[in-house]
Amino acid sequence: MSLRAKLLLPLVLIGILISGYLSAFWVPRTLAADEVAHLRAVDRHLSSVADSLVPLLLGNQLDILHGNLDSLKQANTDWLSIRLVNAEGKQLYPLATGVVSQEPPALPDLRKVEKPIHYLGEHLGTLTIQVDLAPSLANTRNEITELTLVLLGVLAVLMLTIVTTAEIMVGRPVRQLSDAASRLARMDFGTPLPNVGTDEIGALVNSFSSMRDDLQSNHASLVQEIADRKEAEEALKQLNETLEQRVRAEVAANRDKDHLLIQQSRLAAMGEMVHNIAHQWRQPLNTLGLIISNIVDDFRFKTLTEETLERDAASARRLLEKMSATIDDFRDFFRPDREKSSFDVATAVRDAVFIIEAALKSNHIDLAVDAPPGLTSSGFPSQYGQAVLNLLVNAKEAIQENRDSDGRIRVALRQEGGDAVLSVEDNGGGIPEDILPRLFDPYFTTKDQGSGIGLYMAKMIIERNMEGGISAANIENGARFTLRIPLERNA
Ligand code: ADP
**Alpha carbons 330 and 278: distance in angstroms, whole number:** 12
- Same-domain pairing of 405 and 468: yes
Cα(466) to ligand 1 centroid in Å equals 22
Of 94, 129, 155, which marks where a domain is finished?
155
Query: Could you report the per-residue pLDDT of 12-56, keeping only the tens digit for each?
Result: 898 889 889 988 999 899 999 999 999 999 999 999 999 999 999
Least confident of 306-310, 315-319, 372-376, 396-400: 315-319
Q: What is the pLDDT of residue 4?
A: 75
- Same-domain pairing of 304 and 439: no
Q: Give the long-range contacts of residues 301-309, CB within 8 A, separation 24 or more.
A: none
- On whether residue 109 sits in a domain, the answer given is yes
* Segments in 301-379 forming alpha helices (H): 306-334, 345-362
The answer to whether the peptide bond before residue 173 is cis (omega within 30 degrees of 0) is: no
- Same-domain pairing of 70 and 131: yes
**Alpha carbons 290 and 301: distance in angstroms, whole number:** 16
Tell whether the model's pLDDT for residue 337 goes beyond 70: no
111 three-class SS = strand
Q: For CA atoms 397, 403, 405, 410, give the dihedral sign.
A: negative
Q: Kindly report the CATH number assigned to the domain that includes residue 297.
A: 1.10.287
- Same-domain pairing of 317 and 432: no
- On whether residue 187 sits in a domain, the answer given is no
What residue owns the CA closest to ligand 1's atom 10? Answer: 445
Pocket of ligand 1 (CB under 6 A): 390, 394-395, 398, 426, 428, 430-431, 439, 444-447, 450-456, 479
Cα(454) to ligand 1 centroid in Å equals 8
- On whether residue 402 sits in a domain, the answer given is yes
- On whether residue 247 sits in a domain, the answer given is no
Q: Kindly report the CATH number assigned to the domain that includes residue 13.
A: 3.30.450
Cα(250) to ligand 1 centroid in Å equals 29
Residues contacting residue 154 through CB under 8 Å, at least 6 positions apart: none
Average pLDDT of the chain to the nearest whole number: 88
Best residue for ligand 1 mutational test, from 396, 440, 445, 461 (most atoms within 8 Å of Cβ)? 445
Tell whether the model's pLDDT for residue 87 goes beyond 70: yes
- Same-domain pairing of 327 and 341: no
- Same-domain pairing of 435 and 350: yes
- Same-domain pairing of 410 and 486: yes
Of 127, 155, 183, which marks where a domain is finished?
155
Cα(395) to ligand 1 centroid in Å equals 8
Q: What is the pLDDT of residue 98?
A: 55
H-run or E-run covering 39: helix 27-58
What residue owns the CA closest to ligand 1's atom 20? Answer: 394
* Segments in 59-198 forming alpha helices (H): 62-75, 134-166, 172-185
- Same-domain pairing of 296 and 436: no
- Same-domain pairing of 31 and 150: yes
Cα(445) to ligand 1 centroid in Å equals 6
Cα(427) to ligand 1 centroid in Å equals 14
**Alpha carbons 488 and 111: distance in angstroms, whole number:** 139
Q: For CA atoms 298, 304, 309, 310, give the dihedral sign.
A: negative
Tell whether the model's pLDDT for residue 11 goes beyond 60: yes
Taking the CA of residue 394 as reference, the ligand 1 atom at the shortest distance is 20
Rounded to 5 degrees, φ, ψ at 467 are 50, 35
Cα(449) to ligand 1 centroid in Å equals 11
- Same-domain pairing of 329 and 344: no
**Alpha carbons 168 and 192: distance in angstroms, whole number:** 17
Tally of domains within the chain? 4
- On whether residue 183 sits in a domain, the answer given is no
What residue owns the CA closest to ligand 1's atom 4? Answer: 445
Q: How many helices (H) and strands (E) does the chain have?
A: 10, 11
| Domain ranges, residue 212 | 195-241
Best residue for ligand 1 mutational test, from 455, 459, 474, 477 (most atoms within 8 Å of Cβ)? 455
Which comes out higher in pLDDT, residue 267 or 400? Answer: 400
- Same-domain pairing of 363 and 287: no
Report DSSP state, residue 400: H
Least confident of 19-28, 229-238, 281-290, 330-339: 330-339
In this prediction the pTM is: 0.49
Q: Kindly report the CATH number assigned to the domain that includes residue 358.
A: 3.30.565.10
**Alpha carbons 194 and 168: distance in angstroms, whole number:** 11
Distances (CA, A) of 395 to 274, 367, 411, 414: 19, 11, 11, 20
Of 291, 320, 335, which marks where a domain is finished?
335
Query: Could you report the per-residue pLDDT of 127-170, keeping only the tens digit for each?
Result: 999 999 998 889 888 988 898 889 889 888 988 998 888 888 88
Confidence of residue 96 (pLDDT cuts 50, 70, 90): low
100 three-class SS = coil
Taking the CA of residue 451 as reference, the ligand 1 atom at the shortest distance is 3
- On whether residue 371 sits in a domain, the answer given is yes
- On whether residue 246 sits in a domain, the answer given is no
Cα(109) to ligand 1 centroid in Å equals 138
- On whether residue 175 sits in a domain, the answer given is no
What residue owns the CA closest to ligand 1's atom 27? Answer: 431
Taking the CA of residue 426 as reference, the ligand 1 atom at the shortest distance is 23
Taking the CA of residue 428 as reference, the ligand 1 atom at the shortest distance is 24
- Same-domain pairing of 265 and 295: yes
Amino acid in the structure at residue 288: L
Cα(367) to ligand 1 centroid in Å equals 19
